[in-house]
Amino acid sequence: MSTHAWLLLGAFLAVVLVAARPLGLYIAYLMEGRLRIGRPLENVMYRLAGVRPDEEMGWLRYALAILLFNALGVLSVYALQRLQLVLPFNPQQMPAVTPDSAFNTAVSFVTNTNWQGYGGESTLGYLVQMLGLTVQNFLSAATGIVVVIALVRGLARHSAATVGNAWVDLTRATLYLLLPLSFLIAIVLAGQGVIQNLDPYREVTTLEVTRYEAPRLDAAGQPLTDDKGAVLTGPAQTAVQTLAMGPVASQEAIKMLGTNGGGFFNANSAHPYENPTPLSNFVQMLAIFLIPAALCVSFGRMVGDGRQGWAVLAAMTLMFVVAAGAVMSFEQQGNPRLAALGVDQLGGPLQSGGNLEGKEARFGSADSALFAAVTTAASCGAVNAMHDSFTPLGGLVPLVNMQLGEVIFGGVGTGLYGMLVFAILAVFISGLMIGRTPEYLGKKIEAHEMKMSAIAILVTPLLVLLGTAIAVMSEAGRAGIANPGAHGFSEILYALTSAANNNGSAFAGLSANTPFYNVLLALAMWFGRFGVIVPVLAMAGALAAKKRLPAGAGTLPTHGPLFVTLLIGTVLLVGLLNYVPALALGPIVEHLVLWLGA
């Protein structure tokens, strides 16, 4: 790793950790209902919606409210895509999206995955981007936040029957946390050059005439193919460049802040209009980690013991540093196959060096690798470089980040509730070691809680491994592979891993905009999201009902280095037991072939 890479990582973590405390305290303050200046606007909304804000819900009702709210989101995003041609704000006259793609995208944005089977600038009009996708960027993030707040309430309360009011929590998280921060970030990004307009695409005259091979079209505008199905091409030339436009900055801000990750454009944050400068890149990385880190502090505050939150944050940070360091080192090594052709990949003051296929010159290998580690540790899934072109081990780390269950910072809310489930598993395992009934924060952990954590932890590996097996064994699944050999298997494993863990990044060579993948991945996203949320809320309800026990001589303290180690150990153990065989077939084989030759 270069000095520049170390400096970048250090500066990034310093800002995240410094910002975590004030923001975390604010979130606790907000979600405990103490932000009085927000009340008038809130009350108008509650009156219109028929919500009684003081009426709290039991876990089941809370879960039903969340499910219903999200199901409405799917319907809305689906309908907007199907009807976009007859709706306003569509200057390019984009036609209706196909049913399978629209379904996939609707589930994808509602579940905070933001997997993209489509190319944004060639598929979606501005209304879908704003009223469909931007809305879900907010609401799916708010959903994650309120679920973890309900779980934390379960831990903080005792002998209680309720975990909060879902409508009040969703409203507060959206209006007073996500909205103001997004507004601020959007303006900063616009200042750096992220576009924000509703104009039609802009045509400019290029300096040179470009000659290229274009597909030949028949009278109906469909590409002509030969008898084998290959598209016929012919020489073409142009001196016009069409620049895609749109309201990008507003979507970009919440895309990062809500760990959503769905780009306005196909190339996501590699596109210069989404992420024009190294500073916009730094702001985007910060926005990804800001709320997941802050929520740890909110957790500590709400359970009345700040150290509990810092312990969780420490476990996340330690795992992140290892992951980030690894990706940066692997990507800075470059590609030995290109070195053999005499290409200069050595980093220095005049060039970034390293493995640059799929990376942008302004970010180089270090800033791209750090972004990859951040976006996969948190369940964001935005990319500023194409992960498919990473070195085998540089691509393995993002895969593992997701496979550990998106708990290294993780998604907004989802990362912390995932980590708290692992914390409960960790105290359970340590309880078994010393033969005592495990307890966490004064709550006895019993059979019901363990069943719920087991479901929450195992549902995603099940979806990933089963889904990968189905895709690899079916004709339609293998048809999508872009790269030959072990890398092709990695593409499928990455797609299922990303979908079930609600990340949304991709080894994007995989042709996933087919009915097979659109449906398979949509199912993985939906159950990977709500198959975890429902047991977590069930656990919240059960914990809230329990009495609080005073800590005794046999209680395992859950704030010291010992517990941090146990927590990391539990996360790694579960992740590795689930995924090592699959990883060995993909990136590990590829690494050996690349460096040892075959």
Partner 1 sequence: MKSLLRPALSVFVLLSAITGLAYPLAVTGLAGAVFPEQAAGSLIFKDGKPVGSRLIGQPFSDPGHFWGRPSATAPQPYNAAASSGSNQGPLNPALEDAVKGRIAALRAADPGNGAPIPADLVTASGSGLDPHISPAAALWQLGRVARNRGLPEAQVRALVDANTEGRQWGFLGETRVNVLALNLALDALKR
Residues from 216 through 245 that contact partner 1 (CB under 8 A): 233, 236, 238, 241-245
CB count, 10 Å around CB of 399? 24
Q: Is 134 or 502 the residue whose CB approaches partner 1 more closely?
A: 134
207 contact partners, CB below 8 Å, separation of at least 6: none
Would you give the binding string for partner 1 spanning residues 254-273, x where CB under 8 A is met? x----------xxx--xxxx
- DSSP at 164: B
Q: Smallest distance from the beta carbon of 495 to partner 1, in angstroms?
A: 12
Separation in Å, CA 155 to CA 168, 241, 413, 543: 20, 57, 15, 6
Strands 202-215 and 443-444: unpaired
Minimum distance, C-beta of residue 321 to partner 1, in the bound complex (Å): 18
**Cβ atoms of residues 174 and 291 within 8 Å:** no
| C-alpha–C-alpha distance, residues 450 and 428, integer Å | 8
**Piece of the chain touching partner 1 by CB under 8 A; list 100-108, 118-126, 397-405, 565-573:** 118-126
The binder of partner 1 chosen from 34, 54, 159, 204 (CB under 8 A):
204
Minimum distance from residue 112 beta carbon to partner 1 (Å): 15
**CB of 332 closer than 8 Å to CB of 369:** yes
Give the interface size with partner 1 as a residue count (CB under 8 A): 138
Residue 213 within binding range of partner 1, rule CB under 8 A: yes
Residues 468 and 597: their CA atoms lie apart, in Å, by: 27
Q: State which residue, 98 or 196, has the beta carbon closest to partner 1.
A: 196
Q: What is the CA radius of gyration of the chain?
A: 24
Q: CA angle at residue 557 from 405 to 562, to 5 degrees?
A: 65
Q: Is 131 in the site for partner 1 (CB under 8 A)?
A: yes
What is the pattern of x (binds partner 1, CB under 8 A) and - over residues 421-450? Answer: ------------------------------
Q: Shortest distance, CB of residue 82 to partner 1, whole angstroms?
A: 17
Work out how close the CB of 287 gets to partner 1 at its nearest, in angstroms, rounded to a whole number.
15
Q: Hey, what are 317's tokens?
A: 């940070």
Q: Which two tokens stand for residue 207?
A: 């300096």
Give the binding range for partner 1 (CB under 8 A) out of 172-180, 294-302, 435-443, 469-477: 172-180
Token pair listed for 33: 């209902």
Does the footprint of partner 1 cover residue 42 (CB under 8 A)?
Answer: no
Q: What is the footprint of partner 1 within residues 358-397 (CB under 8 A)?
A: 358-364, 366-368, 383-386, 388-392
- Quick one: 61 or 559, whose CB is closer to partner 1? 61
Stretch that binds partner 1, among 307-315, 330-338, 459-467, 526-534 (CB under 8 A): 330-338
SS3 451: helix
Q: Which long-range contacts (CB under 8 A, 24 or more apart) does 473-480 make?
A: 474/516, 476/514, 476/515, 476/516, 476/517, 477/516, 477/517, 477/520, 479/511, 479/514, 480/510, 480/511, 480/512, 480/514, 480/516, 480/517
Contact 500/464 with Cβ under 8 angstroms?
yes
Kindly state the smallest distance separating residue 170's Cβ from partner 1, in Å: 6
Residue closest to 539 by CA, chosen among 434, 417, 358, 441: 417
Q: Is 81 in the site for partner 1 (CB under 8 A)?
A: no
Stretch that binds partner 1, among 171-179, 409-417, 521-529, 547-555 (CB under 8 A): 171-179
Give least dist CB 85 to partner 1, A: 18
Structure tokens at 399: 């895969």
- Residue 121 or 449: the one with the smaller Cβ distance to partner 1 is 121
194 is a site residue for partner 1 (CB under 8 A): yes
| Residue 413 contacts residue 146 (beta carbons within 8 Å) | yes
* Residue 33 is a binding residue for partner 1 (CB under 8 A): no
- Tell me which of 39, 337, 451, 478 binds partner 1, using CB under 8 A: 337
What tokens were used for 273?
């209009």
Q: Provide, rounded to whole angstroms, the least separation between the CB of residue 53 and partner 1.
A: 11
Is residue 533 at the binding interface for partner 1, with CB under 8 A as the rule?
A: no
The owner of tokens 């339609």 is 476
Shortest Cβ 542–partner 1 spacing (Å): 22
Report the residue number, 24 or 246, with the smaller CB distance to partner 1. Answer: 246
Among 14, 68, 572, 584, binds partner 1 (CB under 8 A): 68
CB of 9 to partner 1, least distance (A): 11
How is residue 551 annotated by DSSP? P
Look at the chain and count its residues. Answer: 598
Binding test (CB under 8 A) with partner 1, winner from 221, 484, 550, 561: 484
Name residues whose C-beta falls within 8 Å of residue 294's C-beta, 6 or more positions apart in sequence: 19, 20, 21, 23, 24, 26, 27
Taken in order 60, 64, 70, 71, is the CA torsion positive or negative? positive
> Taking the complex as a whole, how short is the minimal distance between the CB of residue 351 and partner 1, in angstroms?
4
- Pick the stretch among 3-11, 420-428, 448-456, 548-556 that binds partner 1 (CB under 8 A): 3-11
169 binds partner 1 (CB under 8 A): no
Residues in 495-514 at the binding interface with partner 1, rule: CB under 8 A: 507-509
Give the footprint of partner 1 on residues 135-154 (CB under 8 A): 135, 137-139
- Stretch binding partner 1 (CB under 8 A), from 30-38, 102-110, 207-215, 568-576: 207-215
Per CB under 8 A, the segment of 175-183, 291-299, 419-427, 457-465 that binds partner 1 is 175-183
Backbone angles phi, psi at 242, to 5 degrees: -95, 120
Beta bridge partner(s), residue 444: 439
